[in-house]
Structure 1
Amino acid sequence: MTQTGIRLAVSTVIFSLRRHGGDTRPTVVLPLVRRTRDPHEGRWALPGGWLGAEENLEVAASRTLRETTDLSPSYLEQLYAFGDADRSPSRVVSIVYWALVREDISRTASPHNVAWFDATALPRLAFDHNQIVEYALWRLRNKVGYSRIAHGLLDDEFSLAELREVYEAILDRRLDPANFRRQVENSGTLIPTEAFRTGSHRPARLYRYNHDVELADRGPLPHRVFLKEPS
């Protein structure tokens, strides 16, 4: 606790994709942790914890996320600082990050007090966490339009249809397949591979991102918060 009585916490909004039942179109989901003590005991909340005295912010975000959900994100970025005086009984400022994990990673076993929710159909959460998720989802939808942020939700190699599904899930609307193909192929960010995805339809060529191009424009700060999936 600081001399002013303000405590610093770190929370993370972590997005993934899920297909529900027979629906082949994925939706954006996120994990929440059920609180086991007051305030808001029993209510769902974002994963997080206190900032350690000698801890960097991004290290704390990764640590608290791993401790509460057993997840390691493929993309992690600072979102915003939330510190309204009435957001908690004691004065707490939360440094909030947002993160991405692939669908196969998010489907691994979760701790007993963690559950996944549709990002657009949340219950009433603890503190101001509904507002935080709404802001994070807005940031995700805006960023997908000018960066390669969708990469954080995909395997290393993917078809254009799979990439389009990610964009459609994030933007919550259908995209014209022909226009989408033309735009991404002309973007210069994709590299075609010699591999194909086979199935009930004709084989689809797989692509990978050109890693000489940054995942997103991070500005002049060090890019220490770019994380890799565990091997």
Structure 2
Amino acid sequence: MQEPHPVGWSFLHFLEEMTMTLIEQPSVTVMQIEASTVRYLNQYRCPYCQNEWEDVWDCGCNDRCPDCNKEIEPYDSALIEGESAETELPVEEPASANVTAAGVNRLFIVSYEIDYVHRVSVGVTADSLEAAQQLAEQAFNDGTIWDDTAAMPLFSDEYHEVEGESLAWECVAVAQLPEPDHSVRQLKKEQATMQVCRGLVEAYKQGEANGGIIDWEDLDQLIPLALQALGKPVLDIQS
């Protein structure tokens, strides 16, 4: 025989009690804690053009000179605290805390890696295959294989994706976005160089159309771009 329900009991009342019990239970959410990654501030000095610069890497690695593109070893490498990554650990919090955290935007660094082959071709004059390769290897070790000289002209410097390459994505939460590294700065220099070249050609065309008179304003606006291409600070140019 089934035991009778208490007086005043109803199924709706039962659901209400169960709901309140679940709300009062603590829930497990995610707390982000910062874990520092190892980073190094590397100092470089180019023996070829005497250029000096610094860059942040995850090791004391070589870097290419921003001016002459030679591969240079760091003369000093100091351990610093790098960007902050975030590690997820479970922690008990009230259920209401989940509501406010859901809509908060955070900063992320999203990267991808892909396999590629770097192919460089130069011209060499030698009396044998072995001698030609030896000359090219020596130029590579000396960092002069990219100089594009009459004795060793540069024919190609290309990056090709490997057939069947693996594409790997990585996403890391950070407290703040880092400064662009050398590769981005070099890309911006090259873009500024092309803008200066186009501007000079256009100014020359305008000068021809004006009877050989070039407007200085057409040239003045190219000076900041030229300084950016050279990696120099932009100065106020007085016309």
TM-score (norm 2): 0.21
Q: Report the structure, 1 or 2, having the larger strand content.
A: 2
Q: Compare the two structures and name the one with the higher helix fraction.
A: 2
Q: Which has the higher contact order (CA 8 A, sep 6+)?
A: 1
TM-score (norm 1): 0.21
